[in-house]
Amino acid sequence: MLSNECSDSAARGLNNWHESATSAPIRLAIVTPKENAWSETFISAHIERLRGVELVLAGGELPTHAVNGKVLRGKGAFAYLRDQAAARALRTDQDGILVRRVAAELRRARINVVLAEYGTTDHAMLAPCALAGVPLVAHFHGFDAHVDAVIKAHDDYRALFAQASALVVVSRDMEQELLRLGARARKWCATVVGWMPSASLRAYPARMPPHFVFVGRFVDKKAPHLALSAFERLAMRVPEARLTMVGQGSLWESCLQRVRSSPLAGRVELPGILSPDEVASLLRGARAFVLHSVRALNGDREGTPVAVLEAMASGIPVVATRHAGIADVVEHEKHGLLCDEHDVEAMAAAHGLACRAIRSWPGNWAALAGRRPSASTAWRTASRACRRSWSALREGQGVLLSAAD
């Protein structure tokens, strides 16, 4: 019943927008599943830097509240019973009630484009956007485009590909994956996820001792254990080499136990999660940044790791795998050294080259910050997708976005 209602409302809404929108400015809503909408750098950049952001919805794939605003799904027994009664009256369920409230909030704020973060959120926002008659820009980030179980749970995103006005991805690898699933090739706006560069972050790796830095979650797709294996091979040849692995995750304790029970003890540090200033300090004293990303058994892959971009922005060479978006931004033997996934010997050799020959590399490390994609690149790409969705809707056209734009 709700799907028919959404379809009818979408048609009416699109017609109303087309008739009323002439030179009206964009009014943008950003939807994030995180309880804290500013908890991820790339999403906070969208919130803070995109023009026309009038509403931020958060708290779940189907959002439960407006940031600094209205609660859409309350907590506690009273709220539950109230929503149950409303659901019975409207012959729907509690999610159906929430869909209506989200749509009403979009209408109240006079939103004319929704930018939803993550494919899972994009999928959940289909019904509210249809009900409100608002175009949806779907932004994929990583697991949402690659984890087999997630893709299957959302029916290969068939409905999303049909309804979304534009699709934003963060790597060419991700673009190809969604095309394989059935997305239309002319709905694309490809970007590199951004970061906020610091003027004080500039490093001079050629002057530094052989200190390598890993920054990331200790999870299967980042394979910290393989980074350890590569460094262990280097450490046998270069006794003064050191490695600091920043982050936490399900593989952290096993990596710590391996370090403590091997000759790596005293040469590898695992400090856990550090502040941005502490990470910046580590990068300034590093010879190279290392990351051995791989495709996990469940299909999970990277987008474009922010830590790689931050290292490059500071002028530090990257030793990493040819994985997903890493290969989009790191040119082998120019911005760093790349090896194949699971090739620990090749990564160890790359570590060794970073120790010996960094001065002879053609890359101009100090100038990388001005040549690599920055935060502005990323949020402007998202902004372009939103503007074109709004413009095309006003003109009664479909949205045609090229991955080369």
What pLDDT digit, counting tens, does each position of 212-269 carry? 999 999 999 999 999 999 999 999 999 999 999 999 999 999 999 999 999 999 999 9
Give the distance between the most distant pair of CA atoms in the chain.
74
Give the C-alpha separation, 116 to 58, whole Å. 10
Under a CB-based contact definition with an 8 Å cutoff, are residues 54 and 82 in contact? Answer: no
Lowest-confidence region among 17-31, 300-314, 333-347: 17-31
The two tokens of residue 63 are: 């959002």
Mean pLDDT value of segment 149-156: 94
Residue 324 φ then ψ, to 5°? 45, -130
- Give the pLDDT band of residue 282 (cuts 50, 70, 90): very high
HEC string of 101-121 equals: HHHHHHHHCCCCEEEEECHHH
- Per domain, the residue ranges of the chain are 2-194+376-394, 199-370
pLDDT at position 19 over 50: no
Higher pLDDT, 373 or 72: 72
What pLDDT digit, counting tens, does each position of 377-401 carry? 444 555 565 666 555 544 444 433 3
Under a CB-based contact definition with an 8 Å cutoff, are residues 45 and 139 in contact? Answer: no
Secondary element (H or E) of residue 320:
strand 318-321
- Give the pLDDT band of residue 190 (cuts 50, 70, 90): low
Confidence (pLDDT) at 326: 92
Hey, what CATH topology would domain 2-194+376-394 get?
Answer: Rossmann fold (3.40.50)
Q: What is the mean pLDDT of the chain?
A: 80
Confidence (pLDDT) at 145: 92
Higher pLDDT, 317 or 314: 317
Domains 2-194+376-394 and 199-370 are alike in CATH topology: yes
The 8-class DSSP code of residue 152 comes to: H
Confidence (pLDDT) at 113: 92
Higher pLDDT, 360 or 135: 135
Q: Which CATH architecture has domain 199-370?
A: 3-Layer(aba) Sandwich (3.40)
